[in-house]
Amino acid sequence: MKLVLAEYPESRDRSIEVEKRYLPPDTEISYAVVDEGNMEAYYAALEEADAVLTGFAPLDETAIDRMKHCRIISVQATGWNFVADEYAAKKGIAVCAVGEYCTQEVADHTMALMLGVCRLIPYHMRRVNQDHVWEIETLKDRKVQRFGAKTLGIVGFGKIGRAVAVRARAFGMKVIAHDPYIGRETAERQGVELVSIDRILEEADVISIHMNLTSENENYFNKEKFDKMKRQPYIINMARGAMINEEDLADALDRQVVSGAGLDVLYSESPELGTSKLINRENVIITPHCGFYSDDAIEACERISVQNITYYMNGEKEKVFKIVNGI
What is the CATH classification number for the domain harbouring 95?
A: 3.40.50.720
Q: Mark whether 240 is an active-site residue.
A: yes
What pTM value is reported for the model?
0.83
Q: Are residues 188 and 221 in the same domain?
A: yes
Average pLDDT, the chain: 95
Q: What are phi and psi of 170, to 5 degrees?
A: -65, -25
Q: Are residues 122 and 244 in the same domain?
A: yes
Q: Are residues 109 and 97 in the same domain?
A: no
Per-residue pLDDT of the chain in tens (327 residues, 90 and over written 9): 999 999 999 899 999 999 999 999 999 999 999 998 999 999 999 999 999 999 889 999 999 999 999 999 999 998 898 999 999 999 999 999 998 899 999 999 999 999 999 999 999 999 999 999 999 988 988 888 888 899 999 999 999 999 999 999 999 999 999 999 999 999 999 999 999 999 999 999 999 999 988 888 999 999 999 999 999 999 999 999 999 999 999 999 999 999 999 999 999 988 999 999 999 999 999 999 999 999 999 999 999 999 999 999 999 999 999 999 998
Q: pLDDT at position 180, please? A: 94
Q: Are residues 116 and 174 in the same domain?
A: yes
Q: pLDDT at position 244, please? A: 98
* 239 in any annotated domain: yes
Q: Are residues 153 and 273 in the same domain?
A: yes
- Which of the residues 210, 240, 246, 302 is marked catalytic? 240
Q: How far is Cα 223 from Cα 10, in angstroms, rounded to an integer?
A: 33
- Which of the residues 19, 105, 269, 302 is marked catalytic? 269
Q: What are phi and psi of 161, to 5 degrees?
A: -55, -40
Q: Mark whether 210 is an active-site residue.
A: no
Instruction: Look up the domain containing 9 and give its range.
Output: 2-101+294-319
Q: Are residues 121 and 222 in the same domain?
A: yes
Q: Mark whether 124 is an active-site residue.
A: no
* 327 in any annotated domain: no
* 326 in any annotated domain: no
Q: Are residues 142 and 237 in the same domain?
A: yes
Q: Are residues 69 and 90 in the same domain?
A: yes
From residue 317, give the alpha-carbon distance in Å to each of 167, 214, 286, 306: 35, 25, 39, 13
Q: Are residues 95 and 125 in the same domain?
A: no
* 77 in any annotated domain: yes
Estimate to the nearest angstrom the gap between the alpha carbon of 172 and the chain centroid: 26
User: In total, how many domains does the chain have?
Assistant: 2
Q: pLDDT at position 145, please? A: 84
